[in-house]
């Protein structure tokens, strides 16, 4: 009676296949994060935003600072169809509070037009090795260094 498994597939190979697919998906997710982070910071309509205040604090690994700001969209306020939008200014810091800075707009969120590639680079640093490991394991299988090296068993006498 067939167990439904493909001939030649062992539990070890099935496990390696599953881990390879998982690593590949994680890597692709990080690469997508790098792409969309870069797109958010460098595309969209440009505007000038006034950062009203920032709250929070800087942590060891991330910034807990959230800045609020205002900007005008849709044209001039007087004699035009423009209106003021209040929203978050992501990646702004305490030194931007009270200043008018150049931003790219995406809905109710503004991204400063500073040349900061920090977040996309971090995503790339995690994503590229994960994709490499996933593709390598799928194409070539597990290298010998990934498997336990046991001496061959001797038949019982």
Assign 103 to helix, strand or coil: strand
What pLDDT was estimated at residue 127? 96
What pLDDT was estimated at residue 18? 81
Q: Flag whether 152 is in a domain.
A: no
Q: Flag whether 6 is in a domain.
A: no
Q: Flag whether 41 is in a domain.
A: yes
What pLDDT was estimated at residue 1? 46
Number of folded domains that form the chain = 1
CA distance 40 to 90: 10
Host domain of residue 110: 11-144
Q: Flag whether 50 is in a domain.
A: yes
CA distance 23 to 132: 9
Q: Flag whether 153 is in a domain.
A: no
Q: Residue 53 is encoded by which pair of tokens?
A: 């205040």
Q: Flag whether 151 is in a domain.
A: no
For the segment 104-136, what is each residue's pLDDT rounded down to a tens digit?
998 888 888 876 788 889 999 999 999 998 898
């Amino acid at each position: 009676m067939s167990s439904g498994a493909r001939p030649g597939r062992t539990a070890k190979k099935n496990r390696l296949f599953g881990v390879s697919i998982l690593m590949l998906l994680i890597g692709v997710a990080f690469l997508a994060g790098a792409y969309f982070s870069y797109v958010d910071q460098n595309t969209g309509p440009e505007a000038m935003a006034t950062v009203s205040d920032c709250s929070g604090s800087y942590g060891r690994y991330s910034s807990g600072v959230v800045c609020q700001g205002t900007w005008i969209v849709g044209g001039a306020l007087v004699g035009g169809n423009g209106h003021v939008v209040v929203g978050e200014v992501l990646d702004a810091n305490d030194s931007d509070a009270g200043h008018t800075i150049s931003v790219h707009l995406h809905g109710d969120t503004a991204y400063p037009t500073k040349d900061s590639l920090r977040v996309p680079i971090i995503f790339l640093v995690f994503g590229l090795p994960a994709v490499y490991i996933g593709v390598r394991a799928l194409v070539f299988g597990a290298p010998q260094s990934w498997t336990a090296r046991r001496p061959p068993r001797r038949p019982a006498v």
